[in-house]
C-alpha cells in the first residue's frame, strides 16, 4: 500500500510527524512524504526534530502570494505529482490551504483521501478565515475521517457525512507533544541548553507566553492585542515573551508598538522543541492558535484564546481554555485572574492520550 502524506505548514508537520513515524515503522506500507513548502523557513526545524525526510518538495510559495494564488499553485503541482506517483491513498491534515488544495487534487484523480483532524467546526465560515472553509472542503471529499474527539465526530454526522468511515482517534499533536516533552524531561543537558536560549527570562517572574497570527485579527485586532500586552507587562512580577510570526501583517504592529518595552521580549519564531520548553516554563499562555489549545492542557497550563469563537470547544467545556477575544480590558483581566490561580494538580486534556497515530495506522491497516 502506497500512502502519500502531504503537508506544508509547521503545525501540519508537527501533527503529522507521529503519523509518518507510525507508517514508516509498519510493514507493507510504502510511505511518501510530500511538502508544499507553505512554511518553508519553519518547516525544516520540525522535520529535523522528528527525523523526517521529504520525498517531494513542491516549492509552491512566491512573494506576496494571495490565497487564490497559493491554492492554484498547490493544485497545479499536485496534478503533476499525483499523475506520476499514483498513491493508493493520500493523507492530509487539518485546515490549511495545502490540505484543501491537495485533497481537491486527489479527489479529481479519484484517489482516496484520509483527513487527520476531521470534523472541527466553529460554526462561522469566516472565523477562523479561511481555515473553516478549508476543513469543510476536505471533509466533503475525504472518505476516511479521523476525528480527534467525539464532538468532532458528531459535527460530521450532523452534516450527513455518516456514510464515510469516521473514527475517533484523539489528536496527533498530543502524541508529538508528549514525545518532545519526554526528551526534555529525560535529557538534562538538553533542558539546560534550552534554558540557555532564553537568558532574558527572569526565573523569579511569572511568564506569559504569547502566540498570535490569525488573519481575522489583522488590523485593529492586533492593535488591541498589543495594547493588552503592554498593560499585562506592567503587572507585578510578570514578563511577556512573544515569538513573532513572520507574516508582515503581524510583525508590523507588534514590532512597531512593543519593541523595547520593559518586560516584553519579542523574539523570532522558535523551533518546536524550544516552544514546548517555553510552554512548560510559562504560567499563562495567551494565543490565537488552534494547536496550542490542544497541547497546553497536557502541561497543566491555563490557555487564554484571543478569538471570539473556537472550533475546539472541548477544552472550553473542560475549563482548561477560556475565550477572551481581542478586547484589551478582557485580556488583561483574564491574564491577571489566571496568574492568581494555583497551579493545576490534575492534568485534563480532552484531545487525547498520545496514541492517536497508532489508532490511525490501525484503521488504515484494517480498511
The residues that are catalytic are 95, 117, 131, 213, 215, 245
Do 226 and 258 contact (CB within 8 A), yes or no?
yes
- In the sheet that 321-323 helps form, which strands lie side by side, from edge to edge? 264-267, 238-243, 206-211, 284-287, 303-305, 321-323
Q: How far is the C-alpha of 75 from the C-alpha of 86, rounded, in Å?
A: 15
| Rounded to 5°, angle at Cα 303 from 137 and 231 | 115
Chain mean position to CA 361: 21
CA distance 251 to 282: 22
Cβ atoms 52, 20 nearer than 8 A = yes
Q: How far apart are CA 295 and CA 290, in angstroms?
A: 9
Task: Please return the burial class of 178, using the count of CB atoms within 10 Å of its CB with bins 0-12, 13-18 and 19+.
Answer: buried
Integer angstrom CA distances of residue 77 from 51, 132, 341: 25, 23, 50
Q: Strands of 113-116's sheet, edge to edge?
A: 56-57, 30-35, 2-7, 89-93, 113-116, 144-147, 165-168
Amino acid at each position: 500500500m502506497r500512502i502519500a502524506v502531504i503537508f506544508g505548514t509547521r503545525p501540519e508537520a508537527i501533527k503529522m510527524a507521529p503519523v509518518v513515524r507510525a507508517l514508516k515503522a509498519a510493514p507493507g506500507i510504502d510511505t511518501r512524504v510530500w511538502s508544499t513548502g507553505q512554511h518553508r523557513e519553519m518547516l525544516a526545524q520540525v522535520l529535523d526534530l522528528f527525523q523526517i525526510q521529504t520525498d517531494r518538495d513542491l516549492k509552491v510559495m512566491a512573494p506576496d502570494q494571495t490565497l487564490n494564488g497559493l491554492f492554484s499553485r498547490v493544485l497545479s503541482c499536485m496534478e503533476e505529482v499525483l499523475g506520476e506517483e499514483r498513491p493508493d491513498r493520500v493523507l492530509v491534515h487539518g485546515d490549511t490551504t495545502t490540505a484543501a488544495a491537495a485533497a481537491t487534487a486527489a479527489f479529481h484523480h479519484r484517489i482516496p483521501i484520509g483527513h487527520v483532524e476531521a470534523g472541527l467546526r466553529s460554526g462561522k465560515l469566516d472565523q477562523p478565515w479561511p481555515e473553516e472553509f478549508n476543513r469543510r472542503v476536505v471533509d466533503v471529499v475525504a472518505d476516511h475521517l479521523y476525528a480527534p474527539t467525539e464532538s468532532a465526530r458528531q459535527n460530521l454526522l450532523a452534516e450527513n457525512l455518516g456514510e464515510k468511515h469516521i473514527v475517533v482517534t484523539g489528536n496527533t499533536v498530543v502524541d508529538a507533544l508528549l514525545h518532545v516533552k519526554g526528551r526534555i524531561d529525560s535529557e538534562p543537558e538538553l533542558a539546560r541548553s534550552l534554558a540557555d536560549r532564553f537568558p532574558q527570562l527572569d526565573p523569579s517572574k511569572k511568564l506569559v507566553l504569547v502566540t498570535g497570527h490569525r488573519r481575522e485579527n489583522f488590523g485593529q485586532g492586533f492593535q488591541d492585542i498589543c495594547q493588552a500586552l503592554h498593560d499585562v507587562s506592567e503587572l507585578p512580577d510578570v514578563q511577556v515573551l512573544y515569538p513573532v510570526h513572520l507574516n508582515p501583517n503581524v510583525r508590523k504592529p507588534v514590532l512597531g508598538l512593543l519593541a523595547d518595552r520593559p518586560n516584553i521580549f519579542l523574539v523570532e519564531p522558535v523551533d518546536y522543541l524550544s516552544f514546548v520548553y517555553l510552554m512548560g516554563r510559562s504560567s499563562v499562555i495567551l494565543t490565537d492558535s488552534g494547536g496550542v489549545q490542544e497541547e497546553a492542557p497536557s502541561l497543566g497550563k491555563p490557555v487564554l484564546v484571543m478569538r471570539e469563537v473556537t472550533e475546539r470547544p472541548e477544552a472550553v467545556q473542560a475549563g482548561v481554555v477560556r475565550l477572551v477575544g481581542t478586547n484589551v480590558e478582557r485580556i488583561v483581566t483574564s491574564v491577571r485572574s489566571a496568574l492568581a490561580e494555583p497551579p493545576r494538580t490534575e492534568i485534563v486534556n480532552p484531545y487525547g492520550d498520545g496514541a492517536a497515530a497508532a489508532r490511525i495506522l490501525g484503521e488504515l491497516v484494517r480498511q
